[in-house]
Structure 1
């Protein structure tokens, strides 16, 4: 049974983190029925249809109980709930049992965030959390844009990991779109102050927690109006903080997440688009802006044809065979990850560029192995692509760095390019194989 790929979709989502009290002595079906009932009633348009324990099943109550039983361990039981159709869902339910503190740990991620652009969908989501928080008392829970929460520093908020785990949310570090403040946080702030917060919805729950929603819809969290509401609520709950500073910080986050139109150099657009796709969604727009402003340095690994060094090898054919053997080493290295490497085309150069960048090859491999094996293989392969696609001709030399490929009125130094290319991860872009090829292509006439 297939489910939608969630993490491969590089866009924002609504994320809910909910940790509530759980009674391990009570039968699980009895204890969890209110949770599933609220989910089934209010998961408007994103209801899970797949349950996964040790295997996947179509969602129903019996499948949930079966999955919980299959994955039951001494201290923790975990199941996943997903969707087979758009929108995508990644939902995890964990039940922690003694000797650990008994707890119901629930994460809900719905993608794309635009599902919650309509008030009706958001009302249903709020009612679901209201039902959960009324039944399972929490210390703190929140739902918000996952990208914006990441920029806010959630869940550590600048604290050391050990301190963060020990203290949890011990004060109000941030006010998100939807918040549930447990009795201890309510006491810290003051119940009357919290209930008087300027917000879209503020409601006291039967167990002493308070539900607070800053704005009617989650998807437009970055709008000026929503940010103003968010800042007002935060400043009200934390009078020790400056309202203008809070609002300015929120606007800065909105600017980071604002859509940026890619304007990449045409020669490298296919490569840079893939580089951007690897960035987390909260960094995507900033990465696009950086690459829009970046321009690859012009290749320096060439000479005019009248400055070409003559071949100094005794057996030209043997030298050419050695270059082909080096190139085959690269094919052997990359063929499973980069199938196009067999083709020796400009497109295969772009695929190789992306592979080396993705793998952070210059720093993830031993420098000695790079210099002795990778550089000769990459240089020879680049030279072979120039020869095959641009009617180039090798001019072999005893020293690899002096070996040249004649294309038009220039000779290119592919082994020197390979050495420069492998200096660092950034040099994989600055000295890409693709860009040298495209410049050689333009200059051959």
Structure 2
């Protein structure tokens, strides 16, 4: 009952007429225990649904999918359970796209690995902002804008959504970088000197534009912050950790970083 109340089920923020008409037409929320109908599974994508990170993901005989976020219902409100739920929400949009990239012969094994995958909770934040120490904020902001625009110019053909600066753009970038083995294709000089600064600037832009963040500029780029509520986030530091290897694209996804910042803000 508590899970239902917290999620405003079955309305999920919709007016009475809308939720009675549409019902459970898509995944609005994840509870401790979830059973998704065959129709809903097919609309999301069966293999994508089966790759959701959770304690248990099981395909039922009638085509439905059982998803259990945490081992016991009694712990649904524990800090660990809420973190697990947040992780499932945060990284699932990215992970759900990966199974289709594997050969059929290894797909089930990879899905099992993705089900067991638990990315670390984002640590690229501070409880208190450091004051700006730049002499010319306008020039620094202009340089960040140039970096972000440069990333868009390079990737807009492969990742068209990058031009919109949305959470979905970040997921599309995650998938593109992972699919193309991006960190392994370029030298560290290129990544450290161009890709990572541009990615940090772009990630900061999305936090500002979509969550109402405020930039806190620092002379050392990696220390520059975006204030959101009671926390300040470090997009350049996240970008550096993210672009270390193909594996780190999963551990430090842009998608999860944004979702965690959004969750902490609420």
User: What SS does the corresponding residue of 2:218 show, helix, strand or coil?
Assistant: coil
- In 1: Cα distance, 2:256 partner to 2:166 partner: 13
How do 1:122-137 and structure 2 match up within 5 A?
A: none
Residue 261 of structure 1 corresponds to 50
Question: In the comparison of the two structures, how many residue pairs are matched?
Answer: 184
**CA positional deviation for 1:444:** 1.0
Could you tell me which residue of structure 1 aligns to residue 212 of structure 2?
391
Counterpart pick for 1:314 among 131, 135, 138: 135
Q: Render the CA deviation track for 1:344-365: whole Å, top value 9, x for unaligned.
A: 0000000000000011111111
Matches within 5 A, 1:174-323: 261-264=50-53, 265-304=88-127, 307-323=128-144
Residue by residue over 1:237-293, the C-alpha shift from the partner in whole angstroms, topping out at 9 and shown as x without a partner, is: xxxxxxxxxxxxxxxxxxxxxxx9333323222211211110111111111100101
C-alpha distance in 2, partners of 1:310/1:321? 19
Question: What is the match of residue 186 of structure 2?
Answer: 365
- Taking the aligned partners of 1:318 and 1:443, their CA distance within structure 2 comes to 30
Superposed displacement of residue 440, structure 1: 0.2
Query: Larger RCO: Structure 1 or Structure 2 (Cα < 8 Å, ≥ 6 residues apart)?
Result: 2
CA distance in 2, matches of 1:281, 1:271: 20
Uncovered stretches (5+) of structure 1, i.e. residues with no partner: 1-259
With normalisation by structure 2, the TM-score equals: 0.67
Question: Quick one: distance in 1 between partners of 2:140 and 2:96?
Answer: 37
Distance 1:411 1:266 in 2: 21
Deviations 1:99-123 (A, max 9, x none): xxxxxxxxxxxxxxxxxxxxxxxxx
Aligned to 1:331: 152
Q: Please give the secondary structure, in 2, of the residue aligned with 1:406.
A: strand
Alignment of 1:378 with 2:199, yes or no, is: yes
Give yes or no for contact 2:147–2:198 (8 Å, CA) kept in 1: yes
Pair 1:428-2:249 in alignment: yes
Higher strand share: 1
Query: 1:346 matched to which residue of 2?
Result: 167
Report the 3-state secondary structure (helix = DSSP H, G, I; strand = E; otherwise coil) of the residue aligned with 1:297: coil
SS at match of 2:215: strand
- Pairing 1:418–2:242 present: no
- 1:93-108 matches, within 5 Å, as none
In structure 2, distance between residues paired with 1:311 and 1:274 = 39
User: Equivalences for 1:52-201 in 2 at 5 Å?
Assistant: none
| Higher Cα radius of gyration | 1
Kindly indicate which of the two structures has a greater share of residues assigned to helix.
2
Supply the distance in 1 between the matched residues of 2:50 and 2:262 (Cα, whole angstroms).
28
Give the whole-Å Cα distance in 2 for the aligned partners of 1:424 and 1:370.
11
User: Aligned partners of 1:269, 1:438: CA distance in 2, in Å?
Assistant: 11
Q: TM-score, normalised by structure 1?
A: 0.41
Q: Offset of 1:404 from its aligned partner?
A: 0.3
How far apart, in 2, do the equivalents of 1:423 and 1:440 lie?
22
Q: 1:298 Cα shift?
A: 0.5
- CA drift at 1:393: 0.6
Tell me if structure 1 keeps the 8 A contact 2:125–2:234: yes
- 1:300 Cα deviation from its structure 2 partner: 1.0
RMSD of the TM alignment (CA)? 1.2
Where does structure 2 lack aligned partners over 5 or more consecutive residues?
1-48, 54-87
